[in-house]
Structures are given as structure tokens and as C-alpha cells.
Amino acid sequence: MLGVIPALIQDDPEFSELPSLVLIHDGGGTTINYYYLGDLERHVWGISNEKLIDDAAWPGGINQMARTYLDLIIPELPRGPLIFGGWSVGGLIALEMAKIFSGNTEIPVLGVVMMDTYYPSADDAGRDKDMSAIEWGEATTEESKKATLKSLANSAKFSQQWGRDARNASTKPKLPPVILLRASKSHDVSDAKIRGGKQRSGMGKSST
């Protein structure tokens, strides 16, 4: 979901003292899937990619995106511990943000949550097959499909470069704990159920 960046996805004053969770967009460039999450009992922020189809927008790849997103959230979020996270390529960007923030005492990063994030290999030819298997909603326009596929292709390219840079790095920064969540099966958001007044839902039917 594009618009205000960062966008407040969940506002929970009752648990306002808990560390905020900052979720980075998936390969499609939006944060729409995070709006289907159940109540996480904390403030949840989302960062979307307004330049999702621009080939020349991020010459520095994931590292540049991470630094730009940190510049966006620092003035907006309250001082205190943060948790970074993201679905698919968003997990890599979140990890890069944690690396950049390592050692920061004013805004410590307590951890990184990676959702269905894969470690990019030197040959990601299989990604094209994954993109062709996307199940589009009936209301999805051809323009939206084209933009999403373009963003996915850019994300795959950025991920490959990030993987090469990570393998060739001479030093390894100290990172906070990292949790990887992997879906065991797909779940259509239309199957979401309301339990106890709170929505419980999966992340979506197709991962990107």
C-alpha cells in the first residue's frame, strides 16, 4: 500500500511501551498484506516502495533502500527499541537496516523477523517461474500486474547483488537475533476469521 511513509498499520495505545515493529514491503513494493495481520499488541509501521517500477531508482540496491528507509523512520518513530521485519525481500532489507544500525545505543534494534525470505544464490533463474505462477485477484488491473511484475524482477536483481556483497564482505557486523518464519501452506486472505473481536489471518495466497 503506497501513500504515507512510514504508515501506521496498527495503533495500540494499551501496549504503546512495547518495542515498535517496522515492516518493510515485499517484492511487489507494497505493504497491503501486513494490514491482514492479527493484533500484534504494539505499534506496527509499514514502509512501501514508491519507486517500485523505476529501474534507475536504487543504484545502490538493498543497501541504499535500507539507508533511505532508516532516514524516513528516524524522525517519525518514538525513540526506543525497534524490531525490523519484512516478507520476502523485505526481510533482506530489514536485515540490512539492522546491520546499519548495529551499535546504535539511542535506537537499539532488538531483532529481525524475516517472513518467507530466501537467501539469494548466484543463479535465481527459478524466480521467473515463481512470478508467472502468481494468482491475481479478479479486480487486479493489467497496469497493476505489470507494475508488480516489474517490481518483483527488480527485487530479484537487488537480492542477487546483496547476496554477492554479503559473501564477499571482509567483516561481519554484530547482528541482533533473527527469526525466520516460513509458511507451511498457502492461505487465502478471504478465509480470514474473526475471533474474539480480532482478525486472524494469513499473509496472503501467494508469496513474493
- 71-115 pLDDT tens trace: 988 888 877 789 999 999 999 999 999 999 887 778 889 999 999
Q: Could you give the CA distance from residue 60 to residue 121 in angstroms, rounded to a whole number?
A: 19
| Predicted local distance difference test score (pLDDT) of residue 3 | 52
Q: Name the more confident of 150 and 127.
A: 150
Phi, psi of 15 (to 5 degrees): -115, 35
| Predicted local distance difference test score (pLDDT) of residue 84 | 97
Residue 7 binned pLDDT confidence (cut-offs 50, 70, 90): very high
Residue 1 lies in a domain: no
* 3-class DSSP assignment, residue 205: coil
Per-residue pLDDT tens for 183-197?
877 666 555 443 333
Q: What count of Cα atoms within 13 Å lies in the side-chain half-sphere of residue 74?
A: 13
Which CATH number fits the domain that encloses residue 155?
Answer: 3.40.50.1820
| Predicted local distance difference test score (pLDDT) of residue 140 | 82
**Alpha-carbon distance values, 172 to 40, 69, 99 (Å):** 32, 22, 9
Residue 173 lies in a domain: yes
* Closest to 30 (Cα-Cα) out of 90, 120, 111, 116: 90
Per-residue pLDDT tens for 34-43?
999 999 999 9
**Which of the 8 DSSP states describes residue 14?**
G
Q: Which domain holds residue 21?
A: 7-200
Residue 205 lies in a domain: no
Q: Name the more confident of 8 and 154.
A: 8
Give the mean pLDDT of the chain: 79
Q: Name the more confident of 197 and 152.
A: 152
Residue 208 lies in a domain: no
Residue 100 lies in a domain: yes
Residue 2 lies in a domain: no
| Predicted local distance difference test score (pLDDT) of residue 1 | 44
Residue 206 lies in a domain: no
Residue 204 binned pLDDT confidence (cut-offs 50, 70, 90): very low
Number of helices (H) and strands (E), helices first, in the chain?
4, 8
Portion of the chain with pLDDT greater than 70, in percent: 79
pTM score of the predicted model: 0.79
- What cell numbers appear for 121 in the block? 544464490
User: For the chain, how many structural domains are there in total?
Assistant: 1
Residue 162 lies in a domain: yes
Query: In the predicted model, is pLDDT for residue 68 greater than 60?
Result: yes
| Predicted local distance difference test score (pLDDT) of residue 208 | 36
